[in-house]
Amino acid sequence: MKNKGYLYALYALFLLSACADKKPQQELTPWGTPVGEMEYADNSDGADGDEKKPASTNKGLSLEDIQANGELIMLTVNGPTTYYDYHSHGMGLQYLLCEKFAQQIGVSLRVEECKDTAEMVRKLEKGEGDVIAVPLPRKLTRGNLLFCGVTPDSTRTQWAVQNGNKSLADTLNGWFKPKLIAQVKQEESWLLSSASVRRHVYSPFLNRSKGVISRYDHLFQRYSGTARMDWRLMAAQCYQESCFDPNAKSWAGACGLMQIMPSTAAHLGLPMSMIHEPEANVAAAARYMAELQGHFADVGDPFQRMLFALASYNGGYFHIRDAMSLARKHGQNPHNWGVIRGYILRLSQPAYYTDPVVKYGYMRGTETVDYVDRIRARWGEYSGGSGFHESLRGSGMGSGSFHGAPIKSKRHYQNKYHI
């Protein structure tokens, strides 16, 4: 009996020890997918001898078929190194690499964004995409995939096409060279820098002693009422956008003094033939700033509303709404710029941009926060340190409201689309 009691005691201690073991924290890939997810998605047959799922007979479109159709469909996930929308253009290392490959074979690129790696595999097997342009772990994935093309670490991870699609795989293998990764990273870095905007004017003050900021002061003064902002704040925004250069143009297509995108110009009724004309450009930007402020009618304080509008002008209205949703979820004030500023920065972290309340994915939040910070600092310089609320009383910003439905940015990755 004593021995039996001793054994029961040992067994109880063993159970307590097992329960006390802590589950290790799950590691995420750069695009927010849990490491090892593909293993679970692909190894559904298990290790216990269960029947494996039958291999798909769909081999996907061959290289010749893709070229005949004139397009390559890229399957990817949202993230800073994979794919994200940046000023209505695709960005991310894997996207830019795939874009180069599409150019190489003479076709356009279409993007299908998936929620995770398992969905990418399913879509590939159904023929809803041609290539998974995300480095997948070779050792964790098996089944109907043929690894090929881009491999950032030589052996462990690689892009994939349908097993049996040898013509596309061979072409990808022949095209990819390791030096391409460094080359594309350098190109992306340049595109994301201010150097990518061609500017010719750099003076922050035309005549400080006379209080002349630029040769366009009369335009800022004329349209500040439309914009519902102090004219010197408009000047500070213009300097941040183009350094007062009416001929400035970014690689993304933003044009003129206020760097208006062609799609925004069309929405505002500004013809492309006039987009570099100073008055037409400033007038359109003023209407747009008023519209953005109207979209934030729920932000009661005019000062806060203006900061939200400036952030939207740079980073996109829906990204700012995502940040507000995160603040609300975490019990913080969604109408306070200091709070939202922090969540905009967090939208570059997988734990936040993959949150269910976030509808528009990854955002380069540092750029938008820096944009607002620099405009505020320069506005203080232009206004001689006078506060926002002092300028507000004389600018008419606090009166009235501008209503209208927000224009949803083109989420290229929401459905299949052409680049």
Nearest one of 46, 56, 39 to 122, comparing CA atoms: 56
Contact 148, 161 (CB under 8 A): yes
pLDDT of residue 156: 79
Question: Are residues 109 and 229 part of one domain?
Answer: no
Question: Are residues 226 and 166 part of one domain?
Answer: no
Asked if residue 217 belongs to a domain, the reply is yes
Asked if residue 56 belongs to a domain, the reply is no
Query: Rounded to an integer, what distance in angstroms lies between the CA atom of residue 15 and that of residue 242?
Result: 67
pLDDT at 269 over 90: yes
Domain end, chosen from 171, 191, 211, is at 191
Express each pLDDT in 184-201 by its tens digit. Answer: 999 888 888 755 555 544
Query: Rounded to an integer, what distance in angstroms lies between the CA atom of residue 165 and that of residue 338?
Result: 52
Query: What's 360's domain CATH number?
Result: 1.10.530.10
Question: Are residues 209 and 171 part of one domain?
Answer: no
Question: Are residues 375 and 251 part of one domain?
Answer: yes
Rg (C-alpha) for the chain, rounded Å, is 27
Asked if residue 250 belongs to a domain, the reply is yes
Question: Are residues 187 and 204 part of one domain?
Answer: no
Tokens encoding 95: 């996207």
Query: Rounded to an integer, what distance in angstroms lies between the CA atom of residue 9 and that of residue 380?
Result: 74
pLDDT of residue 88: 76
Asked if residue 278 belongs to a domain, the reply is yes
Query: Rounded to an integer, what distance in angstroms lies between the CA atom of residue 194 and that of residue 233?
Result: 20
Contact 302, 292 (CB under 8 A): no
- Residue 46: pLDDT band with limits 50, 70, 90: very low
Question: Are residues 271 and 163 part of one domain?
Answer: no
pLDDT of residue 363: 95
pLDDT at 168 over 70: yes
- The DSSP code for 115 is S
Express each pLDDT in 201-226 by its tens digit. Answer: 455 665 666 678 999 999 999 999 99
Question: Are residues 358 and 323 part of one domain?
Answer: yes
Cα separation values, 88 from 94, 254, 338, Å: 17, 10, 26
The better pLDDT of the pair 413, 123 is held by 123
Query: Rounded to an integer, what distance in angstroms lies between the CA atom of residue 85 and that of residue 108?
Result: 17
pLDDT at 137 over 50: yes
Contact 146, 163 (CB under 8 A): yes
The better pLDDT of the pair 419, 289 is held by 289
Nearest one of 73, 68, 72, 77 to 33, comparing CA atoms: 77
- Residue 9: pLDDT band with limits 50, 70, 90: low
- Residue 300: pLDDT band with limits 50, 70, 90: very high
Neighbouring C-beta atoms of residue 403, cutoff 10 Å: 9
Domain end, chosen from 191, 222, 252, is at 191
Query: Rounded to an integer, what distance in angstroms lies between the CA atom of residue 93 and that of residue 110?
Result: 16
Express each pLDDT in 338-361 by its tens digit. Answer: 999 999 999 999 999 999 999 999
> Which range has the worst mean pLDDT, 8-17, 145-154, 258-267?
8-17
Q: Say if pTM beats, i.e. exceeds, 0.85.
A: no
Question: Are residues 210 and 332 part of one domain?
Answer: yes
Find the domain containing 166 and state its range: 63-191
How much of the chain, in percent, has pLDDT values that exceed 90? 60
Query: What's 116's domain CATH number?
Result: 3.40.190.10
Is 241 labeled as catalytic in the residue annotation?
yes
Question: Are residues 369 and 221 part of one domain?
Answer: yes
Asked if residue 8 belongs to a domain, the reply is no
- Residue 155: pLDDT band with limits 50, 70, 90: low
Helix, strand, coil share of the chain (percent; to 5): 50, 10, 40
Give how many domains the chain has, as a whole number.
2
Unique residue bearing structure tokens 């000062």: 303
Question: Are residues 135 and 277 part of one domain?
Answer: no
- Residue 271: pLDDT band with limits 50, 70, 90: very high
Domain end, chosen from 138, 160, 191, is at 191
Backbone φ and ψ of 159, nearest 5° = -65, 170
Question: Are residues 240 and 181 part of one domain?
Answer: no
Active-site residue, from 241, 279, 367, 390: 241
Pairing of strands 71-77, 108-114: parallel
Q: What is the mean pLDDT of residues 72-84?
A: 93
Question: Are residues 354 and 213 part of one domain?
Answer: yes
339 Cβ contact partners less than 8 Å away, ≥ 6 residues apart: 327, 332, 333
3-state DSSP call for residue 305? helix
Neighbouring C-beta atoms of residue 112, cutoff 10 Å: 20
Asked if residue 416 belongs to a domain, the reply is no
Asked if residue 328 belongs to a domain, the reply is yes
Asked if residue 170 belongs to a domain, the reply is yes
